[in-house]
Amino acid sequence: EAQVTQNPRYLITVTGKKLTVTCSQNMNHEYMSWYRQDPGLGLRQIYYSMNVEVTDKGDVPEGYKVSRKEKRNFPLILESPSPNQTSLYFCASRLRGVVSSYEQYFGPGTRLTVT
């Protein structure tokens, strides 16, 4: 089954404790992206990757890091989480390119709470 998986699904942590949210896709997609979703603000792009070893900032990259060492994996790293990073996070993937018909597939989400 074609899918994007994220782990963990739920995470409660404390300020300053480094954490990683994993994302994996089995569709051989070049493009992967991370979003955060907050009430009233919609989905906002954090980072994206056009291919292995190629990453770039989205609209809200502050406080986050990513890496793309393998095509299927795109982990999101919070080096020193703060309460304003409490949010619902989604990973997504699609075929690379400007062809708009390429559907973007989303993972099930990770709900992060930073106290």
Considering only 7, 13, 22, 45, the residue that binds another protein (CB under 8 A) is 45
The 10 Å Cβ neighbour count of residue 38 is: 13
Shortest spacing between CB 80 and another protein, in angstroms: 27
Q: Measure the CA–CA gap between 89 and 39, rounded to whole angstroms.
A: 12
Contact pattern from residue 71 through residue 100 relative to another protein, giving x for each residue in contact according to CB under 8 A and a dash for the rest: -------------------x-x---xxxxx
Site residue total, another protein (CB under 8 A): 30
- Distance in Å, CB of 12 to another protein, minimum: 17
Residues 6+ apart with CB under 8 A from 103: 94
Query: Which residues touch 26 (CB under 8 Å, ≥6 apart)?
Result: 2, 3, 72
User: What whole-number distance in Å separates Cα of residue 1 and Cα of residue 55?
Assistant: 27
Instruction: List the one residue from 11, 86, 105, 113 that touches another protein (CB under 8 A).
Output: 105
How many Å apart are CA 99 and CA 44, to the nearest integer? 21
Q: Per CB under 8 A, which region of 21-29, 34-42, 64-72, 75-83 contacts another protein?
A: 34-42
Binding residues for another protein, rule: CB under 8 A, are 4, 31, 33, 35, 40-45, 48, 50, 56, 58-59, 90, 92, 96-101, 103-109
